Amino acid sequence: MKGKIIKSTGSWYQVMEFETDKIFEARIRGKFKLIKTRLTNPLAVGDFVEFQLEQDDIAWITKIEPRTNYLIRKSVNLSKEAHIIASNIDLACFIFTLKHPETSLGFLDRFLACCEAYNITPLILFNKIDVLNDEEIELVKDIEFLYQEIGYDTLEISSYSKLNFDQLQELLKDKTSVFFGHSGCGKSTLVNALQPGLNLKTSEISDSHLKGKHTTTFAQMHFWDFGGNVIDTPGVREFAMIDIEKEEVQHYFPEIFKKREECKFHNCLHINEPKCAVLVSLETGEIQYSRYANYVKLMEEAEETSQK
């Protein structure tokens, strides 16, 4: 029997069979290793699998199909292990909030670099627009323009006023999407607004440090009435890339990668090399300093990791 993982709690999974859409509780039989990194979770929501039924309709997963792509992050407590957030994704939606909680551009850039690395189409959703004053809305529009110029799709939304929901539904329709962002950025509230009746648990922002509390504790796939589905993921406070060489990092910043052809040296890393087109573009404002600073930071982290 064949199906896809629609829920993962760590040791138990839910599998939806393709032919009947029937859902089975499932466990793993055998060991799966499809990537070189050590994983805390051998299976992820979105994985296509083969399984066998035994008594009491318990499913035993016997095979996992190769993934077309996946989102991955370093495990919180285990620096040498990684956690696959979701797999076989058509659209990865990053929920950006200017406040309650504040999303850093570094966090966004890591996410976008990961999407570039694993061939996932990203969409930046600027959420909670309804709680911003005029000055803050102008700042969001500046950030939005910055990323649109690079080539990324963006959309301003609000789960409460349903701002731009028609456009959002059209973008999500008939796709497997993933919602990603800090705890408290409004992922579960957004899913509830798009699919009334789900009643996913949501939480207020913690007053003590203005960061969200984890309300989603495991990844789960939910289905839209308008077609397609979404993988709701636990909120993430830190996000690090895996198995990346420092020379590769520029491949995941499109505006930097495009400029490299104009550099004097073909192996230019755009740090302090002579006649570097990226450094010139940084001075002229063609490449944004925030993006370049995050590029350098990711390069340094990749070098540190490779030396361990």
Whether the CB-CB separation of 100 and 182 falls below 8 Å is answered with no
**Annotated binding residue at 93?**
no
Whether the CB-CB separation of 54 and 1 falls below 8 Å is answered with no
Which residue type occupies 6? I
**Annotated binding residue at 183?**
yes
Residue 56, Ramachandran bin (φ over 0: left; ψ between -120 and 50: alpha; else beta): left
Which residue type occupies 66? P
Secondary structure tally for the chain: helices H, strands E: 7, 14
**Annotated binding residue at 130?**
yes
**Annotated binding residue at 97?**
no
Residue 38, Ramachandran bin (φ over 0: left; ψ between -120 and 50: alpha; else beta): beta
201: phi then psi, degrees, rounded to nearest 5: -70, 135
Alpha helices in 9-87 (DSSP H): none
Specify the 3-state DSSP secondary structure of 170. helix
- Beta-strand relationship, 38-39 and 176-180: unpaired
**Annotated binding residue at 3?**
no
**Annotated binding residue at 58?**
no
Whether the CB-CB separation of 3 and 36 falls below 8 Å is answered with no
**Annotated binding residue at 181?**
yes
Whether the CB-CB separation of 88 and 68 falls below 8 Å is answered with yes
**Annotated binding residue at 188?**
yes
Q: Which residue in this structure is represented by tokens 């009491």?
A: 56
Which residue type occupies 254? P
**Annotated binding residue at 264?**
no
Tokens at 51, concatenated: 């399984």
Annotated binding-site residue numbers for GTP: 127-130, 181-189
Enumerate the known binding-site residues. Answer: 127-130, 181-189, 263, 268, 270, 276
Q: Which residues are annotated as a binding site for Zn(2+)?
A: 263, 268, 270, 276
